[in-house]
């Protein structure tokens, strides 16, 4: 190692990434990257973070007080994700570590996928494909895989941030759906008009929507937003789609509701304890299951990764991140 390179900040990329991400970071930092994509234990992660000023993280990398206490050189964790429930923001602020996420660049791609998953569940796309692949298709029948209508039906969105609004616009403008939404706080009138969405209580939404889509961030407060009681409020013909986070839905209760046909179908991209999936969900036919891919187009994944890079360079080289989460709290403590 040359004397120049030892003076450069050191950065850890915690999962495999696009090679040009490494190239861009290497212009400014000494970079260690997990290109073999090994899932490090918390102890290995701590060990790799020794002497690192920055970490490029993804949603599966937990940054908490125990880790921070052992990584005194760490200054920033840049998440390649809009969600940041893998970060303990209080602990990061207390340790003087900046957190950043990757908003906006994935909004439309993720809204596309939420809509696709909702449509696949309603129109029984994977269930009928499995039937065909199993050689069970012998003839046409009037009610074969008859599903639920999309156009003209009522779309209920829980969590009306940027992605929720994108789904609302698709439903209202593209499919003539009536859109109702529930959110911690009501949107301003202009945004409601843009999305053609009407604010209702969670109970009214669950009782009236033909298709419920969850786009709420995960926190202790949103844990099991949908459980047995909420599923019982839904129409028996309704679908439920979760593209938010595992833990927003009680997966065991959902599997029971699907098995007993208390709701018609579900589309799930996220799971409690993923990549493990509740075994009861694997055995019910009326659920479309995908492995957390809502943001997965090459263009969007690249944009998310580059925004994380911009945050690392912005903060460690120029003193200002692009999309920080706790900059105000660091400023108050005089650590930014
Ligand atoms: C990511 C996501 O693929 O951005 C998010 O919050 O859930 C996904 O887009 C995942 O978190 C990897 O970091």
Give per-residue pLDDT as tens, 48-62.
Answer: 999 999 999 999 999
Ligand 1 site, residue 270, Cβ cutoff 6 A: no
In short, whether 61's Cβ falls inside 6 Å of ligand 1 is: no
The residue whose CA has the least distance to atom 1 of ligand 1 is 81
Per-residue pLDDT, 335: 65
Q: How many CA atoms lie within 13 A of 129 on its CB side?
A: 8
Range of the domain at 165: 107-289
Q: Residue 133 Cα, ligand 1 centroid: separation in angstroms?
A: 31
Whole-prediction pTM: 0.95
How many domains does the chain divide into? Answer: 2
Q: Is the CB of 148 under 6 A from ligand 1?
A: no
Residue 232 CA to residue 203 CA, distance in Å, equals 11
Whether 133 and 148 share a structural domain: yes
What are the residue ranges in the chain where pLDDT is below 50? 1-5
Q: How far apart are CA 205 and CA 198, in angstroms?
A: 10
CATH code, 233? 3.40.50.720
* 4 inside domain: no
161 close to ligand 1 (CB < 6 Angstrom) = no
- Measured between alpha carbons, how far is 22 from 32 in angstroms, rounded to an integer? 9
Residue 210 lies in a domain: yes
Same domain, 235 and 283: yes
Mapped to the 3 state alphabet, what secondary structure does 122-135 carry?
HCCHHHHHHHHHCC
14 falls within a domain: yes
Q: Per the structure block, which two tokens stand in for 103?
A: 């908003």
**Ligand 1 close to Cβ of residue 324 (< 6 A):** no
Instruction: Return d(Cα 87, Cα 24) in angstroms, integer.
Output: 24
> Encoding tokens for residue 89?
């923001």
Q: Please check whether residues 144 and 249 belong to one and the same domain.
A: yes
Strands (E), 122-258: 154-158, 178-182, 197-199, 211-214, 239-242
Residues noted as catalytic: 245, 274, 292
Please check whether residues 168 and 280 belong to one and the same domain: yes
- Angle, helices 162-169/107-122, rounded to nearest 10 degrees: 50
CA of 294 to the centre of ligand 1 (A): 8
Domain match, 78 and 196 both:
no
**Is 165 in the same domain as 247?**
yes
Identify which of 82, 101, 248 to mutate to test ligand 1's pocket (most ligand atoms within 8 A of the CB).
82
Is the minimum distance from the CB of 238 to ligand 1 under 6 angstroms? no
Ligand 1: atom nearest CA of 293 is: 3
pLDDT of residue 6: 56
Q: What is the pLDDT of residue 65?
A: 98
17 ligand 1 Cβ < 6 A: no
182 and 118 in a single domain? The answer is yes
CA distances to 261, 271, 287, 290 from 124, rounded to whole Å, are 14, 20, 8, 14
Tell the residue nearest (CA) to atom 3 of ligand 1: 295
Same domain, residue pair 134 and 62? no
- Is residue 18 included in any domain, yes or no? yes
The answer to whether residues 197 and 210 belong to one domain is yes
| Domain contains 258 | yes
**Residue 280 is assigned to a structural domain of this protein:** yes
Q: Are residues 69 and 205 in the same domain?
A: no
* Residue 84 burial by Cβ neighbours in a 10 Å radius (0-12, 13-18, 19+): buried
> Same structural domain for residues 135 and 218?
yes
Q: How far is the CA of 143 from the centre of ligand 1 (A)?
A: 38
């Amino acid at each position: 190692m040359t004397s120049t390179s030892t003076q450069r900040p050191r950065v850890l990329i915690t999962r495999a990434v696009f090679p040009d991400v490494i190239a861009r970071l290497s212009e400014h930092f000494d970079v260690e990257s997990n290109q073999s994509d090994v899932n490090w234990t918390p102890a290995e992660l701590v060990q790799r973070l020794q002497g690192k000023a920055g970490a490029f993280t993804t949603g599966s990398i937990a940054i908490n007080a125990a880790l921070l206490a052992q990584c005194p050189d760490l200054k920033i964790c840049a998440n390649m994700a809009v969600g940041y429930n893998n970060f303990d923001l209080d602990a990061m602020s207390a340790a003087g570590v900046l957190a950043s996420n990757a908003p906006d660049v994935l909004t439309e791609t993720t809204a596309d996928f939420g809509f696709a998953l909702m449509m696949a569940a309603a129109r029984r796309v994977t269930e009928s494909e499995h039937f065909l692949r199993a050689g069970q298709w012998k003839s046409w029948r009037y009610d074969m895989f008859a599903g639920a209508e999309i156009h003209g039906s009522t779309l209920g969105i829980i969590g009306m941030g940027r992605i929720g609004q994108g789904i609302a616009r698709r439903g209202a403008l593209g499919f003539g759906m009536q859109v109702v939404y529930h959110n911690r706080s009501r949107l301003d009138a202009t945004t409601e008009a843009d999305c053609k969405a009407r604010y209702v209580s969670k109970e009214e939404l669950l009782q009236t929507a033909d298709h419920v889509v969850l786009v709420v961030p995960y926190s202790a407060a949103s844990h099991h937003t949908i459980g047995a009681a909420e599923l019982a409020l839904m129409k028996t013909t309704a679908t439920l789609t979760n593209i938010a986070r595992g833990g927003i839905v009680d997966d065991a209760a959902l599997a029971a509701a699907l098995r007993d046909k208390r709701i018609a179908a579900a589309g799930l991209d996220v799971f409690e304890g993923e990549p493990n999936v509740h075994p009861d969900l694997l055995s019910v036919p009326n659920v479309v299951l995908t492995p957390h891919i809502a943001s997965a187009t090459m263009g969007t994944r690249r944009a998310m990764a580059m925004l994380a890079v911009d945050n690392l360079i912005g903060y460690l080289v120029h003193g200002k991140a692009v999309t920080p989460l706790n900059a105000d709290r660091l400023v108050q403590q005089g650590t930014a």
